[in-house]
Amino acid sequence: MSAAPDAWRRSTKLDLSTWEPRGALTGDAALVARALRAWGRPTGQLLYAGRVDGATVVLARDGEQVARYTEAGGPGRLEVFPAPRARPGGAPPLTLRATSAGSRYLVPPWVREMSAAPLFGRSPAWRPVGIEDGVTAPVPAAGGRCYRGPMLRLRAPEIASGVPYTMLDLGGISPAEARYRPPGPAKAGARDGFGVWKGLGCAVEWPAGGAEAATAWEFWRGALPEGARGRWICLRLADARGGSVARGVLFTTHGGRTSAQRTGDRAGTWDCSRLRREVVAGAWWRAPSGRHYYVAAGSRGVARITLDGRATPGRYAATGARAPALSAAGGPALSAAGGPGQEVAVLR
């Protein structure tokens, strides 16, 4: 079972069902049969069969699952993943193979251009990635103790007016769609979004199995005590099974130096999504003087923040603590009020 060539041009659903099979071994019936037998499926949609960096790889789809079968000099290895869901730009690339030289991807048949950049420097240093018969050249992963990409930029001239879209390879069968939302009505600049993703690379724990979508929402930006500046991010990670986690991160800058701290996680909620747009976060923060403050800030729709029963109008509130040991405590009771009928999620 396979899709016809250019099936995507005749469909309004740009999902995996419209991908024609690619690769030099699509006609190898014995290879495809071995892959399906290992998967325990009598049939499936063939997406790819070919040789990739010294291995033979088969990608197949059956309903809401994708299987990757690899033969590399020993017994065949089967890996099964939830099928990535279609997005506004269509289904994402699929990872064929990852080696020390980098990862190769099978891109959607409508994608014509791809670039990659590590999360280093002040702005992304995009470099073109070659594509042949839908398979990319190896894209190396940056080393180090923090996540440093790669960040991918894809372009499909015939889809969505050819506007490029950005993805992050977080592992799993496909990269995650990466979206940066600036505070308020401001438009996102390329450098702003890149800087946030670079900072998050060391600030949070990334899911081992990858993610389907990653949204970094900068819901507050403003002044902190003692002349410091703050940027509060809600990072929402969603997977193909419908699960999600929202993670708060506070970036603080003083004297040209920026640091980051985690400020709470909430799993399995609508927080920081279109279904629950308002959020407030709070954390103990150590100022340049060494003094500790409990700071709290909310998104644009927050009208009042309450700390231990004391309400402060607006989107920001802070209280000091004389003893540094208080920074390890749970902090004051935190809540916030928005407009009528608006529930405000609390990240702490």
The DSSP 8-state label assigned to residue 194 in this structure reads H
pLDDT digits (tens, 9 = 90+) for 90-146: 679 999 999 989 999 999 999 999 999 999 888 899 999 999 999 999 999 877 788
For the chain, helix, strand, coil in percent to 5 are: 10, 45, 45
Report, as ranges of residue numbers, the positions in the chain whose pLDDT lies below 50. 190, 323-328
CA distances from 183 to 51, 219, 221, 281, 325 (A): 46, 5, 7, 14, 33
Compute CA 240 distance to the chain's CA centroid, rounded to the nearest angstrom: 12
CA distances from 240 to 13, 60, 197, 237 (A): 17, 17, 21, 10
Residue 284: φ, ψ to 5°: -75, 135
Tell me the residue type at 251: F
What pTM was estimated for this model as a whole? 0.89
Contacts within 8 Å (CB) and 24+ apart, 187-196: 190/123, 190/124, 191/122, 191/123, 192/218, 193/166, 194/119, 194/123, 194/124, 194/151, 195/122, 196/231, 196/233
Tell me which residue of 198, 179, 200, 203 sits closest to 121, measured CA to CA: 198
pLDDT digits (tens, 9 = 90+) for 278-320: 999 999 999 999 999 999 999 999 999 999 999 999 999 999 8
